């Protein structure tokens, strides 16, 4: 066996090993993501419930931000009007 044949066979063996390793890792992660329904774990339902809860919290936070923006802009408008009124008053 020549040097090049040895290097080619070694590269082939390492490539095949890498593919098997990636397949095993992918399979393990897939099982983890799907959950183990045989043991009562229902990951999809849990994730959907968590997602729904997060969506509700997000809507509540958006509403709070709208209210705060309204309060701030109203105060700025009132303050602007007061400054304008002060500017229009004649000097005493």
pLDDT over 70 (residue 81): yes
Is the alpha carbon torsion for 7, 9, 15, 20 positive or negative?
negative
Alpha helix segments (H runs only) across 1-92: 3-34, 43-88
Nearest to 47 by CA among 56, 37, 35, 57: 35
- Taking the C-alpha atoms of 59, 63, 69 and 72 in order, what is their torsion angle to the nearest 10 degrees? -140
Percent of the chain topping pLDDT 90 = 30
The tens digit of pLDDT for each residue in 59-72 reads: 999 999 988 888 88
- Mean of the per-residue pLDDT values for the chain? 82
The tens digit of pLDDT for each residue in 5-27 reads: 888 899 999 999 999 999 888 88
Coil/strand/helix, residue 41? coil
């Amino acid at each position: 066996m020549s040097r090049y044949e040895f290097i080619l066979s070694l590269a082939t063996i390492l490539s095949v090993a890498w593919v098997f390793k990636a397949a095993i890792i992918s399979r393990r992660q897939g099982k983890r993501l799907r959950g183990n329904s045989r043991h009562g774990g229902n990951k999809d339902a849990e994730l959907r419930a968590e997602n729904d809860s997060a969506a509700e919290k997000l809507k509540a936070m958006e509403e709070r931000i709208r209210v705060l923006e309204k309060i701030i802009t109203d105060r700025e408008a009132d303050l602007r009007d007061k400054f304008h009124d002060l500017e229009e008053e004649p000097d005493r």
